[in-house]
């Protein structure tokens, strides 16, 4: 089933491109991509004037320039509204104008954006982005509790998004805490009530807290001002992409996706501690999220780069610090959505290259798909999937320098996952750690060389052709079924 991006009604779209509920014509490209991979829903949730729309503006600005850091990546706007709205945003970005607050609307239209070959080759994403007005967030609880009318579209959009963006300006939240007593946990209460009224569990939902306007914290205009941890500040100010797209900017380094994600996680941990210790209401916020089994992630950015003297005007080129982070977080978190990703292909990073010269990764992927298994694909020695579920491992270029390891991948897969390891003439260093373990019936080693026979792993096949890979998968899946039946 595919959700209509305009009214959120799930349907098959087998009778045509028009939504059976709202009647709107849904872009064909949206339907086609959504058939193979669920869209990523993004909802901005935060108080008025905390920088939601400005962040979104910078995010779309960045999306248009991602090819500079991820070769061959490109974006497409999928409908007229998106084209017009982004053009409006872009004008603001080019002119250095800050966008005014988003106009309150019960049925906001989403931005529909496809990103191809991002964050890695052959990975595609569709984003459905709802930019909610601050006033909406402030009144959402009352609206969903009003039984006399249907919950507004924006509330249902909040429930639809697995990852919701809590956009909070630390500079402003401190001021708000003093003037109105509101703190970051007010946002969580609104979110929690909305979800409860719509009967949606918070368990395993992701909240990405985006601390915006970080540049304002660096001004020394208030001795009681929050101070971000020095490590985080260092991370913030060394963004290699802060000037991306600006006139005269130097060519940036290419995005090293896995490295970048590792750093994102570290910064998130540091910001979570900072939130608990320093941010007004932060300690209760983290405790409430943990209590409801909601996952919390944190990032920090500045979509302006310097404070605006007069509201609405900057008059300088906008600098965007760490604006790519929320996008990368959201893609990473969405890749965990599909429960069928409990299968992994692990590809070699060393060896004589036969696996790649004979196109065995794609042969293996196709063989698994024919058994209705939808794997993610990893490189040995890395913990993040290089191709997430639903993305075939094509045009594979193994990273250099990685240690050939599988343990850190296997131990992070969901319980009862299966894994298929492809090797040439070099074995993973830790392969025997998994002999005589619960992986006995779930781990398959396929090698182009007879060296695989030296391992203590139970299921191993030598395969040098596409046909042989297919045979080994047939036998292995039969074995997996058998052991699960037992």
Tokens 């696996």, residue? Answer: 355
Q: Which residue(s) pair with 296 in the sheet?
A: 207
d(CA 33, CA 15): 17
* Nearest residue to 315 (alpha-carbon basis) of 96, 90, 92: 96
Kindly indicate which of the ranges 17-25, 94-102, 197-205, 254-262 contains the residues binding another protein, using the contact rule CB under 8 A. 254-262
**Which is nearer to another protein, 28 or 412 (by Cβ)?**
412
Contact between 262 and another protein per CB under 8 A: yes
Burial of 85 (0-12, 13-18, 19+ CB in 10 A): buried
Q: Based on the shown chain and the rule CB under 8 A, indicate whether residue 405 belongs to the binding site for another protein.
A: yes
Could you say whether residue 438 binds another protein (CB under 8 A)? yes
402 binds another protein (CB under 8 A): yes
Mapped onto helix, strand or coil, the DSSP state of residue 76 is strand
Q: Spell out, one character per residue from 407 to 426, where the chain touches another protein: x when CB under 8 A holds, - when not.
A: xxx-x---------------
CB of 255 to another protein, least distance (A): 12
For another protein, give the closer residue by CB, 95 or 254.
254
The residue count for binding another protein (CB under 8 A) is: 32
SS3 readout for 354-387:
HHHHCCHHHHHHHHHHHCCCCCEEEECCCCCCCE
List 401, 450, 485, 486, residue binding another protein (CB under 8 A): 401
Contacts 24+ apart (CB under 8 A), 260-269: 260/328, 261/328, 261/332, 261/384, 262/383, 262/384, 263/235, 264/299, 264/325, 264/328, 264/329, 264/332, 267/231, 267/232, 267/235, 267/298, 267/299, 267/300, 268/297, 268/298, 268/299, 268/329
In angstroms, give the least distance from the CB of 480 to another protein.
19
Binding positions for another protein, 450-479, rule CB under 8 A: 456
Answer for which of 436, 465, 475, 481 binds another protein (CB under 8 A) is 436
Residues in 298-357 at the binding interface with another protein, rule: CB under 8 A: 349-350
Nearer to another protein, 164 or 264 (CB): 264
Q: What's the rounded Cα separation, in Å, for the pair 183 and 169?
A: 11
Among residue numbers 9 through 28, which ones bind another protein (CB under 8 A)?
none
Nearer to another protein, 91 or 266 (CB): 266
Whose Cβ is closer to another protein: residue 173's or residue 405's? 405
Q: Name the minimum Å distance from CB 405 to another protein.
A: 5
* Residue number with CB closer to another protein (222 or 263): 263
Q: Among residues 95, 397, 403, 482, which is the contact residue for another protein, using CB under 8 A? A: 403
Minimum distance, C-beta of residue 234 to another protein, in the bound complex (Å): 11
Question: Taking CB under 8 A as the rule, which mask of x and - marks residues 346-385 in contact with another protein?
Answer: ---xx------------------------------xxx--
Q: In what order do the strands lie in the sheet with 343-347?
A: 376-379, 343-347, 418-423, 443-447, 459-462
Shortest separation between residue 299's beta carbon and another protein, angstroms:
17
**Contact present, 269 and 84 (Cβ < 8 Å):** no
Question: Is residue 204 exposed (0-12), middle (13-18) or buried (19+ Cβ within 10 Å)?
Answer: exposed
Q: Is residue 240 at the binding interface for another protein, with CB under 8 A as the rule?
A: no
**Residue 28 to residue 18: CA distance in whole angstroms:** 10
**Which helix (H) or strand (E) segment is 460 a member of?**
strand 459-462
Indicate the residue among 69 and 157 with the shorter CB distance to another protein: 69
Give least dist CB 271 to another protein, A.
Answer: 13
**Considering just the CA atoms, what is the radius of gyration of the chain in Å?**
24
265: tokens are 């996680």
Contact residues for another protein, defined by CB under 8 A = 231, 256, 259-260, 262-263, 270, 349-350, 381-383, 400-405, 407-409, 411, 429-430, 432-438, 456
């Amino acid at each position: 089933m595919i959700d209509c991006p305009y009214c959120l009604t799930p349907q098959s779209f087998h009778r045509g491109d028009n939504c059976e509920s709202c009647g709107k014509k849904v872009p064909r490209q949206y339907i086609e991509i959504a058939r193979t991979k669920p869209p990523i829903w993004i909802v901005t949730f935060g108080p008025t004037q905390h920088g939601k729309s400005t962040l979104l503006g910078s995010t779309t600005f960045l999306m248009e320039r991602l090819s500079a850091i991820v070769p061959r990546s490109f974006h497409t706007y999928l409908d007229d509204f998106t084209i017009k709205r982004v053009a409006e945003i872009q004008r603001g970005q080019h002119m250095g104008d800050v966008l005014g607050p988003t106009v309150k609307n019960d049925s906001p239209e989403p931005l529909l954006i496809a990103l191809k070959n991002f964050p890695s080759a052959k990975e595609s994403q569709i984003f459905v982005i709802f930019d909610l007005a601050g006033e909406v967030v402030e009144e959402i609880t009352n609206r969903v509790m009003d039984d006399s009318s249907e919950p507004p579209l924006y509330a249902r959009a909040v429930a639809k998004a697995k990852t919701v963006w809590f956009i909070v300006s630390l500079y402003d939240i401190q001021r708000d805490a003093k003037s109105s007593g509101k703190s970051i946990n007010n946002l969580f209460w609104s979110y929690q009530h909305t979800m409860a009224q719509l009967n949606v569990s918070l368990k395993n939902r992701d909240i990405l807290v985006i601390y915006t306007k970080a540049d304002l914290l660096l001004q020394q205009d208030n001795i009681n001002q929050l101070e971000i941890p020095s490590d985080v500040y260092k991370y913030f100010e060394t963004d290699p992409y802060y000037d991306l797209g600006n006139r005269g900017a130097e060519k940036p380094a290419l995005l090293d996706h896995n490295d970048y994600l590792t750093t994102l996680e570290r910064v998130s941990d540091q910001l979570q501690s900072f939130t608990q210790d320093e941010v007004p209401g932060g300690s209760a916020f983290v405790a409430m999220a943990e209590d409801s089994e909601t996952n919390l992630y944190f990032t920090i950015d500045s979509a302006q780069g310097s404070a605006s003297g007069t509201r609405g005007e900057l008059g300088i080129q906008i600098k965007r610090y760490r604006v790519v982070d929320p996008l990368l977080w959201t893609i990473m978190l969405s890749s965990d959505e599909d429960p069928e990703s409990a299968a992994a292909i692990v590809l070699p990073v060393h060896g004589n290259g036969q696996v790649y010269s004979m196109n065995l990764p794609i042969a293996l992927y196709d063989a698994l798909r024919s058994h209705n298994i939808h794997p993610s694909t990893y490189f040995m020695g890395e913990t993040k999937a290089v191709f997430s579920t639903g993305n075939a491992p094509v045009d594979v270029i193994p990273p250099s320098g990685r240690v050939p390891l599988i343990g850190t991948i296997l131990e992070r897969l969901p319980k009862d996952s299966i894994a298929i390891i492809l090797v040439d003439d070099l074995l993973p260093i830790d392969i025997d750690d998994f002999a005589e373990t619960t992986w006995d019936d779930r781990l398959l080693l396929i090698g182009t060389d007879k060296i695989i026979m030296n391992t203590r792993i139970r299921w191993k096949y030598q395969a040098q052709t596409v046909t042989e890979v297919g045979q080994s998968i047939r036998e292995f899946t039969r074995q997996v079924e058998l052991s699960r039946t037992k």
